[in-house]
Structure 1
Amino acid sequence: MQTVATLLWRRLDAPGHDACRLDRNDVAWQVDGAAVFRHRDGRIAQLHYRVRCDRHWHTQWGTVRGWLGGTPIDLSVAHGAKGWTLNEQPVPDLSHCVDLDLGFTPATNLLQLRRLHLAEGESAEVPAAWLDVGDGSLGLLEQRYERLPGGRYGYAAPRFDYRAELGVDADGFVHDYPGLWVAEAPAAG
C-alpha cells in the first residue's frame, strides 16, 4: 500500500484527537487510524480502526480494536454478497448500504464523498451501516450530502438531528465538522 494522505483532527464537543492515514494500491483503498477521546457516556476511549474499500470505494470490511472505559473493543464488520456481518453474525436490513460509517471518527465520511464524487449542486441520499462502539451494534444511518461551492458539503443525519456545512479538503477528508471535529493545521516544512 502507498500512503496518499494523513490527517489529524481535534474533537470539539469533548476532549480527544484522531489521526488517520489513507493508503491505496491497484485494487483497494484503506483508511487506517487511531482515536482517543471521551465518549458521549463519559468513558475514555482508545480505538484503532481500519476500513478497506475496493477501488470504487465500496466497503469490503472494517475493524475496530481497543477499549472503552473498562470494556475491551474487538469488532469486525464485513460486507459481501450476502450483506453485512458484525463479528461474523449477519445484520439484517442493511443490504442497501454500501458504506461503513464508524460513529466515533470523521474519517469514514471520506468513503461516501469519494464514492459519490458529486458535482457542485448535486445531492444524494447515502444510507450507511453505522457502527456504534458504545453498545457494539451495527445499524442504519440515513445521511444526505449536497455538494456546495468552495469545497463544502451540506450534510444531514436525521438520526442525530444534525445538519451542518462540512469543509472538505482536496483528498476528500472532512476538515471542518462543525461542533464535533476540526483538522489540526499541518506541521510547517
Structure 2
Amino acid sequence: MQQILVWKPWTTPGVENLRLSLDSEGIHGSSHLMQNLNGHSIAATYVLECDPRWRFRRLWLKADHHGPRTLSLHRDIRGHWYLNDEPRPDLDGCQHVMIPASPFTHTPVLQNAALETGESLGLRVAHIDLLTLEVTPRHQRYHCLQRRPGHHLYRCEAEGKPPVELTFDDHGLLTACAHYVQLSARTLMAAVPA
C-alpha cells in the first residue's frame, strides 16, 4: 500500500509532503518539509524506516538551515542506537524518533502501542532538533482520550513542552493537532494560487 500524506502548520508558513509505503518488509516514509521554526526558515528531507510492527529501525535526515547537514540514526535489534555509525548509549532505551516539525513521527509510536480509551503509554524517544541536528533522549507520554470510528483522540505530554491533543484517523495517521492539519493533495492544489 502507498499513500501521499500532506500536513500544513496552522499558524506559520510551511508544508510537509510524505510518501508512505507499507508492505511485508516493513514501513517506509519519505518526507520533504519546509517550515518556519522559531523565526528560521528550514527545508528538510528524511527517510524513516520501521519494521512491519512499526518498530523504529533507521532514519536518514538532511536539513538545510544556513547550509545543508545530514545525519543517520539507526537502532539494531538489540536496542542499541548509532548516530552516523557511532554508538549512542545514552539513546539505548529509546523506542522511536521524534522530529517535532513532522507530525508523522507520532504515528509509529501509536501504531505500535494500540492504546484503548483510558490507557496511557510512557516511553523514551530520540528527539531531533531540526535547527541544530542535536539528538537527545526525552520522555513522552500518550493518553488515549477517545476512540470512535474515524476519530481517535490522544494527549501527548512531551518533556519540556506543553501537552497537545492529537487526532488520528482509523489508519492511525494524524489528521489534526494544535500545530498541524492534514490536507489532501486536492486541497493542497486548490490552496496554491494559479
Distance in 2 separating the partners of 1:184 and 1:51: 21
For 1:6-34, what per-residue CA distance to the aligned partner results, in whole angstroms no more than 9, with x for missing partners? 32111124211111122112121112111
Letter in 1 for 2:25: V
Q: Cα gap change, 1:109/1:63 in structure 2, threshold over 3 Å: closer, same or farther?
A: same
Say whether the 8 Å CA contact 1:112–1:126 is kept in structure 2: no
Partner of 1:166: 166
Partner of 1:77: 73
Q: How does 1:66-145 map to 2 (within 5 A)?
A: 66-68=63-65, 70-80=66-76, 81=78, 83-145=80-142
Structure 2, gaps ≥5 residues long: 188-194
Partner of 2:9: 11
Distance in 2 separating the partners of 1:22 and 1:117: 19
- Partner of 2:131, secondary structure, is coil
Deviation at 1:43, TM superposition (A): 2.4
Partner of 2:190: none
Partner of 1:48: 45
Letter in 2 for 1:77: L
Distance in 2 separating the partners of 1:24 and 1:50: 14
More helix, by proportion = 2
Say whether the 8 Å CA contact 2:34–2:43 is kept in structure 1: yes
Say whether the 8 Å CA contact 1:33–1:49 is kept in structure 2: yes
Deviation at 1:103, TM superposition (A): 2.7
Q: Cα gap change, 1:169/1:186 in structure 2, threshold over 3 Å: closer, same or farther?
A: farther
Distance in 1 separating the partners of 2:100 and 2:145: 24
Q: Cα gap change, 1:110/1:82 in structure 2, threshold over 3 Å: closer, same or farther?
A: closer
Paired residues in the alignment total 182
TM-score after normalising by structure 2? 0.86
Partner of 1:177: 177
Say whether the 8 Å CA contact 1:91–1:138 is kept in structure 2: no
- Partner of 1:143, secondary structure, is strand
TM-score after normalising by structure 1? 0.88
Deviation at 1:102, TM superposition (A): 1.8
Distance in 2 separating the partners of 1:7 and 1:50: 14
Deviation at 1:92, TM superposition (A): 2.5
Deviation at 1:89, TM superposition (A): 1.9
Say whether the 8 Å CA contact 1:14–1:37 is kept in structure 2: yes
For 1:61-83, what per-residue CA distance to the aligned partner results, in whole angstroms no more than 9, with x for missing partners? 00112412x22121111111361
Partner of 2:30: 32
Structure 1, gaps ≥5 residues long: none
Distance in 2 separating the partners of 1:185 and 1:137: 32
Say whether the 8 Å CA contact 1:142–1:159 is kept in structure 2: no
Letter in 1 for 2:186: A
RMSD (Å) for aligned C-alpha atoms: 1.7
Q: Is structure 2 residue 56 aligned with structure 1 residue 59?
A: yes
Partner of 1:21: 19
Say whether the 8 Å CA contact 2:122–2:140 is kept in structure 1: yes
